[in-house]
Amino acid sequence: MTTIIFESHATSLDNESKLCSGWNDVDVSKKGLQEAAELGERYGSKLPDVVFCSDLLRSYKTAALAFKNTGVPILIDDRLRECDYGTMTKSAKTLVEEHKMAHLTEPFPGGESYQQATTRMKHFLDDIRRAASGKTIMIIGHRATQYGLEVHINNKQLEAVVSEPWQWQPGWTYNLL
């Protein structure tokens, strides 16, 4: 069994502007810098074996700031990206929220569907299952990253996961068998 701790990336500039970034490579905000430091403090005495993050700046910068000088390997994997909102990238959060359910299996115009995003996560988890048995890993990612964890580890239906209101919390723990 592999223990996975999921942490969302620190607050980004787009988060503060209430925009959905998708694959837009936006930086963390001043608040996000503080959140990243706090993330590292939370795990200071119980470090994961490895941290995985997406290749988007808000994700890997959160990891780099949280775990600097700890010796914990930080590995970047583009399969951990947020859903690609295509032409809706950087749209108002309320607008994207209104259209989420229409894009469970149908891609956002010029982007991808939530099904495609969670399939990326399935391939990532298949690799982790083979390579990290008995380890504790942390994933610093996005909502679509967590949707994939809920679907492929907790066996939840994609429609239920996407429709549930999302609320930040300090870490979610998953057991990958």
DSSP 62-73: HHHHHTTTS---
Quick one: which of 38, 5, 41 has its CA closest to 173? 5
Question: Which one is catalytic: 7, 35, 82, 150?
Answer: 82
Question: Which one is catalytic: 9, 103, 142, 152?
Answer: 9
Helix, strand or coil, per DSSP, at residue 163: helix
User: Where would I find the beta strands (DSSP E) of 36-124?
Assistant: 50-53, 74-76, 91-92
Contact of 3 with 173, CB cutoff 8 Å: yes
Quick one: which of 118, 109, 104 has its CA closest to 86? 109
Integer Rg of the chain from CA = 15
To which residue do tokens 């859903």 refer?
Answer: 83
To which residue do tokens 């989420």 refer?
Answer: 100
Quick one: which of 65, 113, 111 has its CA closest to 88? 111
Please say if 9 is a catalytic residue: yes
List active site positions.
Answer: 9, 82
